[in-house]
Amino acid sequence: MVMGELTTDVDVAVIGAGPGGYTAAIRAAQLGLETVLIEKALIGGCCTNVGCIPSKALIHAADVKYDSESATARMMGVYDSVKLDFAKTQAWKDRVVKELRDGISTLCRLNGIEVIEGQAFFTSSNTLSVETEAGLRGIKFRNAIIATGTKVRGLGSLPFDHKRIISSDDVFTLAELPKHLLIIGAGYISVEMANLFSKFGSKVTIVHHGDRLLKRMEPEVTELLLKKMREMGIEILFNSEVARLDGNDAVVRTAGSERRVPFDKLLVATGRTPCLEGLGLDKTKVKLDGDGLVVVDAGMRTTDGSIFAVGDIVPGPQLAHKAFRQAKVAAEVIAGKKSAYDNRAMPMVVFSKPEIGSVGLTEEEAAEQGKPVVGRMLYSASGRAKTMGATDGFVKVIAGQDGLILGVHIIGEGAGSVIAEATLAMEMAATLEDLATTIHAHPTMPEALAEAAEDALGRAIDMYRGRKR
């Protein structure tokens, strides 16, 4: 790395230090490229600081409390008096986040990556400037990778005040547990936050303008999720909207009528939007598509040959694991290796109660391509599920007439882990026969995946489907 009077000359400049950014920087450095990583806020990005990691830490803490108080625990003969110290829980979560953030910083240092704190913007297709506390710093690069991620999307009618009207980012700085939490939205953030706070003891109400939760997921999965959330005491108002706020109440309009819903906090969870403003893309040849996302090819190269883009700012689902994979591809392409983002399968996990894991086509989507073959395994027939008192849920496997697996959808204990095997199966173009004849350890939850494949083949052992004559 050569330092001039005003400019640093590097092989790769990475903008954004979230999952895509720090992964791209580390992989580029591993391949011998002089690399700088630029971040305007905290290293680790949204995922580490206000997304995946803190939310799952709080969800786990809520599970510990909820499970110890549950009827299932009492049925097992386990009785406990649980007290929640929410401030201490938040402090524990903060330590988890800090440890991971420090770990990323250490990895960058060990790989010889310079981390620059500041706001980066392009001045040409091969140069950019960074606004730092010490002033402007110039960077001349042979290649750049944009990995700036997303920010919360607000509602114009209910602007954030970060006190009563909050975003998902604000959840992680709450000093007290809200008694009444009102959530707008029905995506995975809304579902996870509703489950989290309900398990902690808040009264939770969801208001959604549509007619179902998680609209892109398998309907059978979301139907069971809705049933279990309502059993937890979560109120869900579909085809509804918050018309106005009146003191400590939200006036919710549903089917032409209005009702008042009390709240301490109103969480707007209507999605996230790409962070591209202020990057100076007009100084480059980078183009955006009709949705405002960066156009890239299979090598993650933009329409400007020296600039790449990965993660939430390019087409596809906003998932950290997508960014991880794309980041490695971009770094490898820059290093001259044959690499492409050509993955067949993209898993998604929702850390609800029960947990959801999903990959590939829904049954309806598969039916558009031909008549699918479908198999199921109910958790109520799983030995491992019974030993945990976790019999709510199922595995659903969808395949083509040739047996090629097209989709797997799981709701229940361990879904987020079991879906990894399904994703690998789809990535390797496995068939129902491959899944069914693979020996699975007993008793475990992944056995349900094999049994669902057996069911699709008409030879399920643990579920009776009638005798063949």
327: CB partners within 8 A, 6+ apart: 19, 20, 21, 23, 24, 27, 145, 147, 310, 311
What would the pLDDT profile of 380-435 be if each residue is shown by its tens digit?
Answer: 999 999 999 999 999 999 999 999 999 999 999 999 999 999 999 999 999 999 99
Return phi, psi of residue 381, to 5°: -105, 5
What would the pLDDT profile of 57-90 be if each residue is shown by its tens digit?
Answer: 999 999 999 999 888 888 999 987 889 999 999 9
Place of tokens 């998932």: 319
Per-residue pLDDT at 465:
81
Per-residue pLDDT at 79:
87
Per-residue pLDDT at 81:
81
* Amino acid identity at 387: T
Per-residue pLDDT at 291:
96
Rounded distance, CA 298 to CA 329, Å? 9
- 162 labelled catalytic: no
Task: Estimate the share of the chain in helix, then strand, then coil, as percent rounded to the nearest 5.
Answer: 35, 25, 40
Token pair belonging to 15:
């903008």
Q: What is the DSSP string of 271-286?
A: -EEE--TTS-GGGS--
Per-residue pLDDT at 7:
84
| DSSP secondary structure code for residue 7 in this structure | E
Given the DSSP bridges, would you call strands 203-207 and 257-262 parallel, antiparallel or unpaired? unpaired
Per-residue pLDDT at 11:
98
Per-residue pLDDT at 394:
98
User: CB of 27 within 8 A of CB of 327?
Assistant: yes
Token pair belonging to 398:
């969808």
61: CB partners within 8 A, 6+ apart: 89, 92, 93
What ranges make up the beta strands (E) of 300-355? 307-309, 348-350
Catalytic residue (one of 60, 180, 321, 442): 442
Closest CA to 59 of 269, 354, 324: 354
Rounded distance, CA 81 to CA 271, Å? 37
Closest CA to 362 of 352, 374, 354: 374
Closest CA to 89 of 197, 214, 181, 237: 197
User: CB of 170 within 8 A of CB of 146?
Assistant: no
Q: What stretches in the chain show pLDDT beneath 50? A: 1-5
| DSSP secondary structure code for residue 67 in this structure | H
Rounded distance, CA 182 to CA 252, Å? 11
Token pair belonging to 353:
């109660």
What would the pLDDT profile of 27-55 be if each residue is shown by its tens digit?
Answer: 999 999 999 999 999 999 999 999 999 99
* Amino acid identity at 441: A
Per-residue pLDDT at 5:
40
Rounded distance, CA 53 to CA 94, Å? 10
End-to-end CA distance of the chain: 75
Per-residue pLDDT at 466:
77
What SS3 string covers 318-375?
A: CCHHHHHHHHHHHHHHHCCCCCCCCCCCCCEEECCCCCEEEEECCHHHHHCCCCCEEE
User: CB of 446 within 8 A of CB of 415?
Assistant: no
What ranges make up the beta strands (E) of 85-234? 114-117, 119-122, 127-132, 135-146, 150-152, 165-166, 180-184, 203-207
Per-residue pLDDT at 54:
98
Rounded distance, CA 113 to CA 106, Å? 10
